Chains A and B, each alone.
Chain A
Amino acid sequence: MTEAIIRAQQVEKFYAQPSENRIQVIAPTDLSILPGEIVALLGPSGSGKSTLLRMLSGLSKPSGGQVYWHEKPIESTQIHVSIVFQSFALFPWLTVLENVEAPLKAQGVEPEARKTRSLKILDTVGLDGFEAAYPKELSGGMRQRVGFARALVVEPEVLFMDEPFSALDVLTAENLRSELLELWQKKTIPTRAIFIVTHNIEEAVLLADRIIVLGRNPGHVRTDFKVGLPQPRDKKSAAFTKLVDYIYTVLTRPDVTPAVPRLHTDGRHIRDQRQMRYEMLPHARPGGIAGLLEFIIDLNGRTDVYRLADELAFELDDLLPIVDAAQLLGFLTVEEGDVSITPAGREYAESEILKQKELFRAAATEHVLLLRQITRALDNKTDHTVPEEFFLDMLDEQFSEEETQRQLETAINWGRYAELFDFDAARRRFILPEREETAATIQESVEE
C-alpha cells in the first residue's frame, strides 16, 4: 500500500459550552489522502465538510486526534497544500497578476521568477492577457480561474477545493470542471492529490476516484468507496446513474449504527444528538414542502430521490431539507432512496390553503417538540408573550450558536405559517395571535 500524503487519525472537532455539555461537530474520524487520487467529500449541510477540510489542510487544529503529513505531525512540518475557495477569496485591490504573485511573495521568490511563474500559470488556466485586470472586472468563472491559478502557482502537493464550483452557473461550472480534469489527467500540474468538498453528487461522481460521504450530528463517515468508472465518464451511462442513486440512498437512509454515547477522560459527557430532547429541524419552508408533495403526487406518489433532484434541478442542499421536513411531519416516507407519499401527505397537498394550514398545524404540533413547547409556554403565560431568549437558552444547550439561531428561525417560520403563534421581530418575542381573528379558526368554527 502506498504511503498516505495526509493521514488523519481519530480527528474530531467540538466546541465547549459554558455548561457541562459540548457541541460535537465531527466525531473521531480516520481518513487518508493517497497520492494519485481525487477524493470527493460529500454530505448534507451541517455535516462538517468544510471543518474537516480545514483540519486536513492544517488551517484549523482538531480538538482531538492528530493529522499527519507524510507521517509527521502536521503542525511541526512544512506542508505543501493550497486551497481553492467557494467565494474565490481574491484580493479585490490587487490585479490578477498581483493576486497570483502574492503567495510567491510570501515565499520570498525573486520578482523576476515570480512574474514568470505567475504568467505561466495564468496561461495554463486560460487567463492569458488578463494579468492587469482587477477581479471585479471579471465574470465569476474568470475569477475562479484566478483562484485556481493562485492555488496552483505554489505547486501544491495536495490541492484542496472547498465547493469551488457552487458559486458559478451550471455551464461555467461544467466548463471549469472538465478543464481541471484535463490538467490533472495530462499531469500539466505537479499536484499529486486533489481533495474536493462538494454538495453536488453528480460532480463528485464525475470527478472523483474516491468518494467519502459524511453524515451529520455529529459529522461522521457514512461510507468511503472507490469509483471504478473509467474517465471520461458519461452522465447518461447506467453505471453512473446507479452510483448517483446509491449515494442518494445512503444520504436519505437514517443511520443504522448510531454512535454510542460515551464518557470522555475529562469527564465531559458527549451528547449524541439523536438522544436529545430536540430533533434538528430541517431548514425548509412550508411552501416548499407542499410543492414537493404535489410534485411527487404527479409522479404517482412514489419516486426515487435522485430522479426528484434531477427533475427539479435541485442540488443536495436544496432538496434534502425539504424531504427531511416532509418526513418529520409524517407526509413522506423514505426507504432505500425511494420516497413515497403518505395518506396524510396526500391529503395535505390536495387541500385548499386554509385546510392546509390546519393540517400543517396538527402535524407540526404532533411531531415537533419545539413548536409544542413554544405554544404551551404562550398558553400558560397570562400576557401570552415569551421572549426569544427563553428558547435560545434551551436550544443552545444542544446546538452551536449559529445553529440555534437557524433552528429558531425555522420554528418561527413554521409556527407563523401554521398560525400557532406570531413573532414580534422588533422586540424579539413570541406572541399569541388573537385566536378568534385568524382565518383558520373561523374555518374551524364553520366546520363545527
Chain B
Amino acid sequence: MKVRYTLSRSLVIERSWPFFLDLTVAMGLLAGFYAVLQIARYWLSGAVPEVVISQSPRMLPLYAFYSVVRIGVAYLLSLLFAVGYGYIAAYNRRVEALMIATLDILQSIPVLSFLPGVMLAMMSLIPSRQLGIEFGAILLIFTGQVWNMAFSFYSSLKSIPRELREACTINHFSRWQRLWQLELPYATIGLVWNSMVSVAGGWFFLMVCEMFPVGDRNFRLPGLGSYLQTAASTGNSPAMIYGLITMVAIIVMTDQLIWRPVIDWSDKFKFENVEAADRMKSPVLAALRQSNFLGIIHQRTIAPLSEHLYQSIARRHRDREEAPPKSNKTGATLVTVVIAVFAAGLICFAAFKAILLLRQVPRSDFGELLLGAVVTFFRVNISLLLAAAWTIPVGVAIGFNPKLSRIAQPLAQIAASFPATALFPVILLALMKLGAGLGIGSIVLMMLGTQWYILFNVIAGAMAIPSDLREVARLFHFTSIQRWTTVILPGVFPFLITGLVTASGGAWNASIIAEYFHLKDQTLHTLGLGAQISAASDSGNFPVLLLATIIMALMVVTINRLVWRPLYKLAETKYRLEG
C-alpha cells in the first residue's frame, strides 16, 4: 500500500522525459557493475610489478579507468577515515589534543618519502596478487589527501552551535541520529571543498607513484601516470598529447559530473538563514533529482532500512531506561590502560629503532642534507614569490571584472585540479631544449603545481571586497599605489594568506619530484632536500631517507608555526572585512 502510494504519486507529477533519464541512470548502474567486475578481475590476478606500458592510444581508456579507480578508492577511504578520526578527536577530551597535534605533523610529512617503504611492505603482505601493489599506491594517495579532510570534519564538529546540540540532547537523539541529522550535514560544506583539494592532490601524487624505481626494481602500474611517463621517456609526442587530453577530459568530467552537482546539492547545508543570491547550478543534479528510478530505489532500500535502524535504537534505548545495566566500568578502564601502556611501549620501541637507524648516517651526509634544506627553502620561496607576482594582479583584475570572472574562475578551478606532475615530463623536455638545467626547471615545476591555489584565492578575495570601498577610492582620486596599499591588498590579504599556505605546503612536497626526475633513461637532479629524498629512496638508503624526511617535516612545521600562523591570525583579526 505504501509503495503503491509513492508509485502513483511519482507518476502523476508530470516530468519531461523521465524515461530517458531513467534509462541513463540504469545504464550508469550497469556500467558501474561491469567496472567493478573488471577491476576485481585485475586486482585478483597474479602480481606483475613491472607491467609493460603500451603506448597505443587505444589502451588509454583502460589506463585512465585504472587511475580513476585508484583515486576513487583512496578518496572513499580518506572520507571514512576523516569522519572517524574527526569524530573521535572531537568527542574524547583525553585524546583530543594528541590527535590534533598528530594531524598537524602528519600533514607536514612529505608523502613521497613513504613510497618505497609502503610499496615493499604491501608487496610482501599480499605477494601473489596485483592487489598488493595497487593497495600500496592507494595507501600513498590516501596519506596525501586525508589530513585536511579530517581536520575540516573535526573543526566543523567543534563549531556546531550550542543550541542545536541541546535540541538533540533534550529530544534524546541517538548518536546515530545525531550523526545524520546534525553532525554530517553541518560538516558537509567544509568536507566538500576539502575533498576537491584532496582529490586534486591525489592526482598529483598518483602521476608519480604509478611508476618509480626502488633499488634495482622498477615498479609500474598500468595507469595514466605511467603512460605519460613512458611516452615522455621514449619521446613519443603524439602519445604524450593523447595522454594529456585524456587527463584534461577526466578533470573536466569530474568537475561537471561530480563536483558541480555536489556543490549545488550541498547548498542546502549552508547554515546561514538567508537564501544566497547566486549559487552554483548543476543540470546533472537537476536530472538526478527528477529521476524516478533513483527515488524508487531510495524508497525501497534505504528508507525502510534506516527506519528499521531508528526503531531498534529507540527500543534499545527504552529497554536501557527501564533496566539500567550494571556497568563494568573498572574492567573497561583496566583494559584501556593496558592497551594504552602497550601502545606507548610499542611506539617507544619503534622510535628508538628509528633513532638507531639515524645513527648510521655519516656526519658528512648530515651537513649535505642541511645544505640541501637551505637550497630547497630558497627554491620554494622563490617559486612562491614568482607565483604571487603574476597571480595577484591577474587575480585582482579577474575578480573586479564580473564578466571575466564568470569565465576565468571555472577555468582556474580546473587548472588548479590539473595535476602538474602530468606536465612535468613535457615541460622538462621543453626546458632542456632551451638549455636550462633542473635548477631553474624545478622552480618552474613547483610553480606549476602551486600557483593556482594563489590565483584561485586572490580572485575570491577581490570579489569579496565590497564595491563601496572601491567607490571610495575612486571618489577621492586615490593614486594607484594608494589604491593597492589601502584597498586592494588589505582586502585580499586573508585570501592571499590561505592561498600561500596551501601553495607553500604543496611546493615543499613537489620539491621531491621537481628536483629529481627520470627522463629518457637518465636521471636529472639538482642540489636540494627533495632530490636527496628521492635519491635515497631510489637507492634504498633508508637511514638517509628517514633523516631527510624528518628534516623536511621539521622545516615545514617550523615555517607554519613561525610565519603562517601569525599571518593567519592577523588576517583573522585586522583584515577581516565584516564587523
Contact = CB atoms under 8 A, between A and B. Distances in A.
A63 interface: no
A137 B314 CA distance: 32
Interface in A55-89: 57-59, 76, 78, 81-83, 85-87, 89
Residue from B164, B173, B270, B317 whose CB has the most chain A CB atoms within 10 Å: B164
B13 to A, nearest CB: 13
Interface in A370-427: 425-426
A87 B172 contact: no
Contacts, number: 82
Interface stretch (B272-280, B462-470, B523-531): B272-280
Interface string A326-368: 0000000000000000000000000000000000000000000
B163 A89 contact: yes
A213 B312 CA distance: 44
B161 interface: yes
A78 B574 CA distance: 50
B315 A108 contact: yes
Interface in B166-197: 166-167, 169-174, 177, 181-182, 185
Chain A interface extent, by class? 20 to 34
A44 interface: no
B163 A106 contact: no
A86 B268 contact: no
B573 interface: yes
A130 interface: no
B521 interface: no
B185 A83 contact: no
Contacts of A426: 570, 573-574
B367 interface: no
A93 B187 CA distance: 12
A348 to B, nearest CB: 30
Nearest to B185: A93
B171 A425 contact: no
A253 interface: no
Contacts of B574: 425-426
A243 interface: no
A89 B166 contact: yes
Contacts of A269: none
Contacts of A82: 170-171
A81 B171 CA distance: 8
A102 B273 CA distance: 20
B268 A87 contact: no
B216 interface: no
Given A76-B324, A93-B185, A425-B574, A134 B163 contact: no
B271 A92 contact: yes
A136 B172 CA distance: 25
B242 interface: no
Contact of B311 (A92, A108, A425): A108
B91 interface: no
Contact of A106 (B173, B270, B272): B173
B181 A89 contact: no
Contacts of A94: 181
Contacts of A110: 311
Residue from A83, A89, A134 whose CB has the most chain B CB atoms within 10 Å: A89
Nearest to A92: B271
Contacts of A108: 310-315, 317-318
A81 B573 CA distance: 41
B352 interface: no
A93 B172 CA distance: 19
Interface string A166-188: 00000000000000000000000
B277 to A, nearest CB: 13
Given A78-B321, A103-B171, A92 B573 contact: no
B375 to A, nearest CB: 34
A305 to B, nearest CB: 31
A287 to B, nearest CB: 19
Nearest to A137: B275
Nearest to A58: B170
B170 A83 contact: yes
Interface in A186-241: none
A43 interface: no
Interface in B539-579: 570, 573-574
Contact of B273 (A92, A106, A425): A92
B484 interface: no
B314 to A, nearest CB: 2
Given A92-B273, A106-B171, A106-B177, A134 B268 contact: yes
Nearest to A86: B163
Chain B interface extent, by class? 35 or more
Interface string B385-396: 000000000000
Contacts of A135: 273
Contacts of B166: 54, 59, 83, 85, 89
Contacts of A54: 166
B314 A107 contact: yes
A57 B167 CA distance: 12
A111 interface: yes
B173 A89 contact: no
A154 interface: yes
Contacts of B321: 78
B307 interface: yes
Contacts of B170: 57-59, 81-83
A93 B310 contact: no
B174 A106 contact: yes
A54 B166 CA distance: 9
Nearest to A108: B314
A105 interface: yes
Contact of B164 (A86, A89, A106, A111): A89
A91 interface: yes
Nearest to A103: B171
Contacts of B177: 102, 105-106
B254 to A, nearest CB: 25
Contacts of A81: 170
B162 to A, nearest CB: 9
A92 B167 CA distance: 13
B230 to A, nearest CB: 47
Interface in B404-449: none
Interface string A136-167: 11000001000000100010000000000000
B269 interface: yes
A54 B171 CA distance: 14
B325 to A, nearest CB: 13
A89 B161 contact: yes
A293 to B, nearest CB: 29
A443 to B, nearest CB: 31
Nearest to A112: B2
A93 B174 contact: no
B575 to A, nearest CB: 10
A87 B313 contact: no
Contacts of B324: 76
A91 B266 CA distance: 14
Contacts of B163: 85-87, 89
Nearest to B266: A93
B310 A92 contact: no
Contacts of A87: 161, 163
Contacts of B164: 89, 91
Given A81-B170, A85-B167, A93-B269, 16 more contacts: A87-B161, A87-B163, A89-B164, A91-B164, A92-B268, A92-B270, A92-B273, A102-B173, A102-B177, A106-B171, A106-B173, A106-B174, A108-B312, A111-B307, A134-B268, A136-B275
27 contacts: A57-B170, A59-B169, A76-B324, A81-B170, A82-B170, A83-B166, A83-B167, A83-B170, A87-B161, A89-B166, A91-B164, A91-B181, A93-B268, A93-B269, A103-B171, A103-B172, A106-B171, A106-B172, A106-B174, A106-B177, A106-B310, A106-B314, A108-B312, A108-B314, A150-B167, A426-B570, A426-B574
Interface of A: 54, 57-59, 76, 78, 81-83, 85-87, 89, 91-94, 102-103, 105-108, 110-111, 134-137, 143, 150, 154, 425-426
